[in-house]
Amino acid sequence: MSNQAPNEARVIPLRPPAGRPGTARPASERPAASPPRAMPSAPAPQALRAPKEPLWRDLIGDVLRRERLAQERTLKDVADAARISMPYLSEVERGRKEASSEVLAAAAHALGLGLGDLLSLAQGELTRHSGRSRGPSTAPYNGLCLAA
């Protein structure tokens, strides 16, 4: 058994002080504080960094929200029609969740769109974002791009 009082917490130091175990050094013997570390250099100015491409989930969410608002429908109305939870649809619209193709198809159908329509609108958004950040693309492109 322990000789500790029943209502007292026992403190176990994580690191014993340098020197003899179980004894603390007086303040005069403790090492001086280490000099402050140099801060990392400031990040490069925004103009010098390559623009970040938007995430697919952000593009899809933007399209879903824009279509819902254009139809003047509530989040609850579309979520009920799609048979998905309202909080989940909200997170998909905000780009916080990576929705499955079944969820995207259900949300698109609830808005009167096909899955191809939704993906085509998102591809248009991606093209607009890419066009703003870089010059015109020199790569040939004549179709719908799907990411898995």
Does a structural domain hold residue 100? yes
Residue 57 confidence (pLDDT) above 70: yes
pLDDT at 37 over 90: no
> Which pLDDT band, with edges at 50, 70 and 90, does 42 fall under?
low
Residue 36 lies in a domain: no
Domain CATH code at residue 120: 1.10.260.40
| Nearest of 140, 139, 4, 123 to residue 53 by alpha carbon | 123
Say if 73 falls within a structural domain. Answer: yes
Residue at 35: amino acid letter: P
Structural domain including 68 reads 56-131
Q: How many angstroms separate the CA atoms of 58 and 23, rounded?
A: 57
**10 in any annotated domain:** no
Considering the domain boundaries, does residue 38 fall inside one?
A: no
User: Over 80: is that where the pLDDT of 141 sits?
Assistant: no
> Is the model's pLDDT at 101 over the cut of 90?
yes
Which is more confidently placed, 6 or 83?
83
For residue 29, is it within any domain?
A: no
| Residue 84 forms part of a structural domain | yes
pLDDT at residue 15, rounded to an integer: 73
Q: How far apart are the first and last CA of the chain?
A: 62
Residue 105: inside a domain: yes
Q: What is the pLDDT of residue 64?
A: 96
pLDDT score at 38: 59
- 3-class state of residue 61 by DSSP: helix
In total, how many domains does the chain have? 1
